[in-house]
Structure 1
Amino acid sequence: MSAIDDLPPLREVIAAHGLTAKKALGQNFLLDLNLTAKIARAAGDLTGADVLEIGPGPGGLTRGLLAEGARHVLAVEKDTRCLAALAEIAEAYPGRLTVLNADALEVDPLAHLTPPIKVVANLPYNVGTELLVRWLTPPAWPPVWDSLTLMFQREVAERIVAHPGGKAYGRLAILAQWRAEAGIAMRLPPEAFTPPPKVASAVVRIDALPAPRWPADPAVLERVVAAAFGQRRKMLRASLKGLASDMEERLAAAGIAPTDRAEQIPIEKFCALARALTP
């Protein structure tokens, strides 16, 4: 029996089902159920929420989410080897766990979820950033999710919460912080995982704001940010010259010096530039 429920410890589950982590699937399993419960608690009160989990693997975090009172968990797992272990969890928590055997990049989970929705996941490293960008750039805001509590490589986590003036500051920071609050909830060393990855990890919590901090057309802002950080060593008058023939005048209208570089510019001024470039 484990420390959080009546199911077996994860090491026994992995041994029983032959669930060695696959590098090709970006798998690194968290086996400490007290730790997975702590990650679940980092997402806040789950009792009235549906939770989307990507890449549950043998179900350590899944069990933490259910033990912490999640109303319903939708677990999307690509690896068919994990389905039997997840079915055992579903049986232990009747009616509260749905497992989809699917690629998270190809499935629409909304048909299985009822708001309020929280996303909580130890994301597979090979799809984590792409999924995050999708969640941060929905067609309309506010998004369907209230919060994202996600495990990333520490380097990615630091890019999400970065401030202007450092090398970590870039597109991810702007996407996360323009319309949401983002912070690091906890840090984990490589030895917390099986097998241990080569890098440390961190859990980031992102809470959606009801509206953007500053007005801007999302598509225009995305183009500006992509161009600016695509050539981040260049002055903005050079990296952005393809966006408008009178770019220096547009930069001045936004209160930005043409000789500035992307990493110096706060989100508020990127939004002002996006407005200056919007027809």
Structure 2
Amino acid sequence: MSTIDSLPPLREVIATHQLSARKSLGQNFLLDLNLTAKIARQAGDLADCDVLEIGPGPGGLTRGLLAEGARRVLAVEKDSRCIAALQQIQAAYPGRLQVIEGDALAIDPLAHLKPPIRIAANLPYNIGTELLVRWLTPPDWPPFWKSLTLMFQREVAERIVAQPGSKVYGRLAILAQWRCDARIVMSLPPEAFTPPPKISSAVVHLNALARPRYPANADSLSRVVAMAFNQRRKMLRSALKGIAPDIEDRLRAAGLKPTERAEQVSLEGFCALARILDS
């Protein structure tokens, strides 16, 4: 498949609008429309969904999402140079693409979207993790979105799906897996991008669960997980001693060994400990 619509190839779009990627904006453009269409397909059935895309750049994934049948796409782009290119796509898909120029960290997308909503994005590297944490920690659950299909640096993707015992298992894995089914669905080498980043990338798909996997208070779970992993080389009884004077008894009541380290504790174990501490 050499093209997915009647619009020009992305290299031509970039040349026309002089869209050299800017490191300050975390930009690395994915120009192969075969790949952007494949990422769009990983987001699931888009026919009856609005899709939020952050950092569309010249619009490769935007075109993939629209070609795959998204009811409507809201594209939030901080780089004013990209707006004209996105407006070309807007004209090719009348009534189905809205472009907002601005900072994704400061914009409320719900003012422009109707459920069901999916989020799909080749996230700018410099704000990707912050956006993910925001989407995983809303005041109420389930969230406004049905699924997240997001590209990250490979090391971040591996942290999201990591299991206990892994060196990269930590807070991000707990946040993601407590409320979602998370899996890596694609891997991309540096040469797939312009300019090529120094490391590989991966696409993670997260489906929101109707309720958290195990019962726990979100604030309590976040606190205990943060304390445990902030001193991940220490035993739990040392890392968590500031939480309660009888922390060893509480660890045992949660079914955990005081001599274990954070990376050895399962999601279920952390949730049990959060409940014990609340009681």
TM-score by length of 2: 0.99
Q: Trace 1:104-115 onto structure 2 (pairs within 5 A).
A: 104-115=104-115
Counterpart of 1:156 in 2: which secondary structure?
helix
- Listed one character per residue, the Cα deviations across residues 149-204 of structure 1 (whole Å, up to 9, x for unaligned) are 00000000000000000101000101010111000010000000000000000000
Q: Corresponding residue for 2:260? A: 260
Amino acid at match of 2:78: K
Report the RMSD for the aligned CA atoms in angstroms.
0.9
- Listed one character per residue, the Cα deviations across residues 224-277 of structure 1 (whole Å, up to 9, x for unaligned) are 000000000000001111111111111011011100000000000100000011
Does structure 1 retain, via aligned residues, the 8 Å contact 2:54–2:104? yes
Amino acid at match of 2:267: I
The unaligned stretches of length 5 or more in structure 1 are none
The unaligned stretches of length 5 or more in structure 2 are none
Q: Trace 1:237-276 onto structure 2 (pairs within 5 A).
A: 237-276=237-276
Amino acid at match of 1:136: L
- Listed one character per residue, the Cα deviations across residues 122-155 of structure 1 (whole Å, up to 9, x for unaligned) are 0000000000000000101111100000000000
Identity %: 74
Q: Corresponding residue for 1:189? A: 189
Q: Corresponding residue for 2:147? A: 147
Task: Kindly state the Cα deviation for residue 2 of structure 1 after the two structures are TM-superposed.
Answer: 5.6
Does structure 1 retain, via aligned residues, the 8 Å contact 2:55–2:76? yes
Does structure 2 retain, via aligned residues, the 8 Å contact 1:2–1:8? no
Does structure 2 retain, via aligned residues, the 8 Å contact 1:152–1:202? yes
**Runs of 4+ deviating beyond 3 Å:** none
Q: Trace 1:1-279 onto structure 2 (pairs within 5 A).
A: 3-279=3-279
Counterpart of 1:107 in 2: which secondary structure?
coil
Task: Kindly state the Cα deviation for residue 38 of structure 1 after the two structures are TM-superposed.
Answer: 0.2
Amino acid at match of 1:77: E
Counterpart of 1:145 in 2: which secondary structure?
coil
Does structure 2 retain, via aligned residues, the 8 Å contact 1:187–1:203? yes
Does structure 1 retain, via aligned residues, the 8 Å contact 2:2–2:34? no
Amino acid at match of 1:231: Q
**Aligned equivalents of 1:7 and 1:249: distance in 2?**
65
Amino acid at match of 1:194: T
Does structure 2 retain, via aligned residues, the 8 Å contact 1:171–1:229? yes
**Aligned equivalents of 1:109 and 1:238: distance in 2?**
42
Counterpart of 1:6 in 2: which secondary structure?
coil
**Aligned equivalents of 1:84 and 1:3: distance in 2?**
20
The count of aligned residue pairs is 279
**Aligned equivalents of 2:191 and 2:256: distance in 1?**
45
**Aligned equivalents of 2:213 and 2:152: distance in 1?**
25
Amino acid at match of 1:202: A
**Aligned equivalents of 1:277 and 1:99: distance in 2?**
46
Counterpart of 1:163 in 2: which secondary structure?
coil
Amino acid at match of 2:152: F
Task: Kindly state the Cα deviation for residue 10 of structure 1 after the two structures are TM-superposed.
Answer: 0.3
- Listed one character per residue, the Cα deviations across residues 2-41 of structure 1 (whole Å, up to 9, x for unaligned) are 6100000000000000000000000000000111000000
